[in-house]
Amino acid sequence: MFSTDIQKIAQQHPGYLDAVGENYKWNFVALASDSAIFSFSLGMLSQDTILPYFASQLTDSNLLVGFVPAIYYLGFFFPQLLGAYLVHGRATRKGAIFWIAVSERLGIFCIALLTQSLGFLSNNQALVLLFASYALFSVTNGLIGPAYADFISKNIIRRRGIFYGLTHGLGNLFGFSAGLTAAYLLERYAYPTNLQYLFWFGFATSFVSPFLIASLREVPFPAERNRESLGEFLRNIPMHVRGSPGFLRFIVARAFLGIGIIANAFYALYSLERFDLSEGYLGIFTLIIFLSQSALGLVWGWLGDRVGFKVVFILAASQIAGMGALALTAVGPWAFYLVAIFVGGVYAAIRTADPNMIFELAPPHETSRFVGISNTFVAPVMTLAAVSGGFIADRFSYETLFAIVLVVGLVSVLLMILYMPYPRHNKV
């Protein structure tokens, strides 16, 4: 069935949908392939396993290790309003997507280059450069988000849940390959040689993506407004949020759910320490996360297409509660394999359900703005959650951290059921 935004476009611009439909299969395949192949590079830069491990070789502070996911979430989510402004009021998005994608590779290059320079740097210097390089990558990765989502909303006009599920499923199969590669390299070679191979390989494979983006076929959207200045664009945000009460409820509930990632960078590190596991376990943990995202992404997409994506958020909140409960009661490494499955399931739910909920709640000509608003609103919550995780682990204990995850998960279940809107059933 068509989502609510496509139904509106069909009423206002039926000729546009006919033109877009001619490129539907081509863009479906190109977008899915782009996301899938780039996921291999992302697997080499995992904010939950590989980069926290790198940081842990440079510092004994869990608080500083917690800066790795914090930098990712702040860099990815916070600049998305600027990313939305870059394409707002424009009839096309492809050009912006392409040039931001090219600039993303600079951050990956800097991280790879850093591993070659460790013998010339102190640990503190290397840690600062790691944070700076990863921030560069995360910011460019975030800037592309609104334009990319807006392109999808205008060109993937049916079966979006299946599209996102398949896209993330394929992506996570590539991520699975990245996990296998990481497990082998981390086990086979000593630090820092293992990371040198990892990051240079990730940098090389990242260059397939710009060619796929260049192949996309775009029909200019006919209902674009006059371009606003950046100041006007930002000042008009409260008006748009007040005019969409369902959207406001969505971002509040979604932001609270984001607190559930507070311990994600520490599950693998804690299990290494508690059960005396080898560093190769980090690759296995990464591998399971990607496998889970691959399988559950398809399930979430299928489920969202049929009953709505609110149900997907309810299940994601339940998995967050499960992560906390399993980590608290673990008696062997197998429990953290289940935690990794839930981590992957939550990531798959967020990546599949987030854009689809926004597409259904936002006016079709304001998609990029609403994507930017949502992700910028979530940014400080997820950033503080990631930093707080390291502080809590240092100041109190890992067990305290996992107990907080359990509580957040249970409260999130109630919020998703009672507070989050249900646009598929006109409950906004």
The answer on pLDDT for 295 being more than 80 is: yes
Q: Nearest 5 degrees, angle CA 38-CA 65-CA 374?
A: 55
Q: How deeply is 242 buried, as exposed, middle or buried, from its count of CB atoms within 10 A (0-12, 13-18, 19+)?
A: exposed
User: What's the pLDDT score for residue 424?
Assistant: 66
Read off the pLDDT band of 112 (50, 70, 90): very high
The answer on pLDDT for 111 being more than 70 is: yes
User: What's the pLDDT score for residue 394?
Assistant: 85
The answer on pLDDT for 204 being more than 60 is: yes
Region 180-195: mean pLDDT is 85
User: What's the pLDDT score for residue 416?
Assistant: 94
The answer on pLDDT for 316 being more than 60 is: yes
pLDDT tens for 66-90 read: 888 888 888 887 888 888 888 877 7
pLDDT tens for 266-292 read: 888 888 888 888 777 777 887 788 788
Region 212-240: mean pLDDT is 81
Helix, strand or coil for residue 72?
Answer: helix
Region 17-21: mean pLDDT is 78
What domains lie within the chain, and their CATH numbers?
A: 4-216+226-425 (1.20.1250.20)
User: What's the pLDDT score for residue 414?
Assistant: 96
**In the chain, how long is the greatest CA-to-CA distance?**
63
Most confident range, picked from 129-143, 146-160, 181-195: 129-143
Residues 367, 361 contacting (CB under 8 angstroms): no
Region 185-189: mean pLDDT is 85
User: What's the pLDDT score for residue 110?
Assistant: 93
Q: Write out the two tokens for 75.
A: 């860099």
Residues 6, 153 contacting (CB under 8 angstroms): no
Residues 44, 199 contacting (CB under 8 angstroms): yes
Cα separation, 59 vs 65, in Å, equals: 8
Region 364-376: mean pLDDT is 81
Region 316-344: mean pLDDT is 93
Phi, then psi, of 427 in degrees rounded to 5: -105, 80
User: What's the pLDDT score for residue 243?
Assistant: 81
**Which has the higher per-residue pLDDT, 22 or 320?**
320
Q: Nearest 5 degrees, angle CA 285-CA 278-CA 46?
A: 35
pTM beyond 0.75, yes or no: no
Region 232-257: mean pLDDT is 87
Residues 336, 48 contacting (CB under 8 angstroms): no
**Which has the higher per-residue pLDDT, 271 or 364?**
271
User: What's the pLDDT score for residue 425?
Assistant: 63
The answer on pLDDT for 2 being more than 60 is: no
User: What's the pLDDT score for residue 21?
Assistant: 79
Q: Give the mean pLDDT of the chain.
A: 85
pLDDT tens for 296-311 read: 888 888 898 888 889 9
User: What's the pLDDT score for residue 426?
Assistant: 58
